[in-house]
Amino acid sequence: MPTYNFICNTCQKRFEVFLTYNEYGKKAVHCEYCNSADVRRRMTKVRIAKTDEGRLEAMANDFTGFEGMEDDPAALGRMMKKMGKEMGEDLPAEFDEVVDRLEAGQSPDEIESALPDMGGDENSEE
């Protein structure tokens, strides 16, 4: 049975009602707190799945102000965090560490020297 969310217009409390599809719109709904019939349906949040193309398009739109961001580590960190969320994949803990350091104001050069093993070319000779 589907659950429907309501708000009482009298006492302003939220409550749920279990109704079959046949009952919805036909069966009277009363507030479970004050028994008022003056209720309205509450719309809940909906998640919309994006395609890979949609995620890439959203990220491209976020890059419009990318110029000059190398001088603002916190803005770069926020952009990278948003990009990571848009990707919809689990990223390594190192990514979060770099983003946290950027958001704290540490420059990319400082991060690179503090974490020399990150992002380096694995095939380079020592």
pLDDT of residue 30: 96
Q: What is the pLDDT of residues 87-103, one digit of tens each?
A: 666 777 788 888 888 88
Share above pLDDT 70 across residues of the chain, in percent, rounded to a whole number: 72
The answer to the question of residue 125 being in a domain is no
Q: 93 and 65 in one domain?
A: yes
Q: Are 97 and 112 in contact (CB under 8 A)?
A: no
**The total number of structural domains that make up the chain:** 2
Q: 78 and 31 in one domain?
A: no
Q: 57 and 84 in one domain?
A: yes
What whole-number distance in Å separates Cα of residue 102 and Cα of residue 75? 8
Average pLDDT over residues 26-45: 92
* Domain residue limits at 29: 3-41
Question: Is the overall model pTM greater than 0.75, yes or no?
Answer: no
Q: 18 and 59 in one domain?
A: no
Indicate whether 71 pLDDT > 90. no
Q: 109 and 65 in one domain?
A: yes
Indicate whether 67 pLDDT > 80. no
The answer to the question of residue 121 being in a domain is no
The answer to the question of residue 46 being in a domain is no
What whole-number distance in Å separates Cα of residue 85 and Cα of residue 80? 9
